[in-house]
Copies of this chain bind each other. A is one copy, B any other.
Amino acid sequence: MIRAGIIGATGYAGAELVRLLTAHKDTEIIWYGSRSYIDQKYADIYRNMFKIVEGSCLDDNLEELARQADIIFTATPQGYLASVISDRILAQTKIVDLSADFRLRDVAVYERWYGITHASPQYLAEAVYGLCEVNRDKIRTTRLVANPGCYTTCSILTAYPLVKAGLIDPDTLIIDAKSGTSGAGRGAKTANLFCEVNENIKAYGVACHRHTPEIEEQLGYAAGRRITVSFTPHLVPMNRGILVTAYASLVRKGDGSLPGAEEIRAAYDACYQEETFIRVLPEGICPETRWVEGSNYVDVNVISDERTGRVVMMGALDNLVKGAAGQAVQNMNLLFGLPETEGLMMVPVFP
């Protein structure tokens, strides 16, 4: 059994990790870390876990946890892991970090967008960006996985095939993303009260959301050069789910014609036909968050618009599963040589 510890086990992403790891046949959770609820029974915080989880919450002692655990998941605020990580810890355990601390290769970019000083830039080179479908091989051999952000996972996987195939101009890429409210976390803020979110939709973080540089860096690798994108997140009155609607101009061929629908579709099939968790939908069918809820799937599709010379790329995932805990487990499976889908073949729950 893999002995797993979770720091930040009482946030929504942490709780989803508990749900997934509890059902994972090769894993045992040995540490429910939660600074806010120390010594309280975990099932008193998340009553869905009553008679399922017996443990109580522990403090965030990464040193001690590293001694006991084969793997640590940090579902913590930005800056936490960078402030406590050390060679000794990495020598004893593997880490999947659900925060942004090790996602951006360039420390200056991190510090600019997050507004904090990076306490451990020396581990940035070692960290692997844990987008399994793209970095599978590198993940297998690392000690430190930077689990991608929820918006980022959805945005990258939605646009990746056309960027990689050079069929769109990546600098025209505009990503309009919509997220369920669990993405806003479990902190007690007025803005996230039921009555404030319900019967409402709004954009936020316009032109300054922190997932932007992460998308630009990763899609830049696919493009083979630096790119700049527009990214706008929105808050939707639902619990789970992210939908990305991404727009980009098609690159005209030498003869001035646009790439055809078949060529565009072929780019998606080329990237994803072997992927269990990425479902390229039939032609003309738009992804919807309800069809992936509770599962690790990402549904993607693309519609070409000759009138405008643009494509509309769409992707949907469950922000707590493929956008957080599910992808973290997928990374764990890779780290430990397990089948990549172990514990992740949940059928989406609808309605």
Is A156 in the interface zone, CB < 8 Å from B? no
- Decide if A314 is an interface residue (CB 8 Å cutoff): yes
Q: Which of A171-200 contact B (CB under 8 A)?
A: 174, 176, 178, 180-182, 186, 188-190, 192-200
Task: Check if A206 is an interface residue, CB within 8 A of chain B.
Answer: yes
Q: Is A38 an interface residue (CB 8 A)?
A: no
* Stretch from A73-81, A91-99, A145-153, A281-289 contacting the other chain: A281-289
Q: Of B234, B238, B299, B351, which contacts A240 at CB under 8 A?
A: B351
Residues of B within 8 A of A238 (CB): 198-201, 237
Q: List, in ascending order, chain B residues with CB within 8 A of A188's CB.
A: 188-190, 193
Q: How far is the CB of A122 from chain B (nearest CB, A)?
A: 29
Instruction: Enumerate 6 A-B pairs (CB-CB under 8 Å) in ascending A order.
Output: A19-B350, A49-B347, A206-B312, A207-B308, A230-B308, A232-B312
The residues of A with any CB-CB pair to B shorter than 8 Å are 12, 15, 19, 22-23, 46-52, 174, 176, 178, 180-182, 186, 188-190, 192-204, 206-207, 228-230, 232, 234, 236-241, 243, 245, 247, 279, 281, 285-295, 299, 303-305, 307-308, 310, 312, 314, 316, 345-351
Q: 6 smallest A-B Cβ distances: which pairs?
A: A48-B348, A195-B351, A200-B290, A202-B288, A207-B305, A194-B197
